[in-house]
Amino acid sequence: RQGRITAESETFLRQCERPLPPHPMGIKATILYSRNINVSNENQRELAKLPGEEHSLFGQDTVAVWDEDQDVEEIMDKSGPRMSEAQRDWAKQTLWSNPFFKMCQ
């Protein structure tokens, strides 16, 4: 939990290390780290090897809370995809039964 291991443990783990045969589709073996900084460093090293220019994409999530008797269609973006009534009922029941959303009721 602390992200630290003894030198003895590290030596033992290194002795278990072995090269894996290359995957035909170029998939690399997963490397597990106990600390996020090591994960970030590994990701940066691998990303730096990719060809081409860097692109950044940003997403935005929104949450709308409404009264139970209010129509979902009133709140939905009218240009968005349409759901059947059964799909809306399922989505509403699934969301409201989630522990995160139960706090909102």
Q: How confident is the model at residue 82 (pLDDT cuts 50, 70, 90)?
A: low
Domain identity same for 44 and 76: no
Number of domains the chain is built from: 2
More confident residue, 52 or 6: 52
Q: Which domain holds residue 90?
A: 72-102
24 part of a folded domain: yes
Domain identity same for 44 and 12: yes
Most confident of 2-6, 26-30, 65-69, 84-88: 26-30
Q: C-alpha angle 96/102/105, rounded to 5°?
A: 90
Cα-based distances in Å from 1 to 34, 35, 36, 42, 43: 8, 9, 12, 20, 21
55 part of a folded domain: no
**Around Cβ 96, how many Cβ atoms within 10 Å?**
12
66 part of a folded domain: no
d(CA 81, CA 101): 23
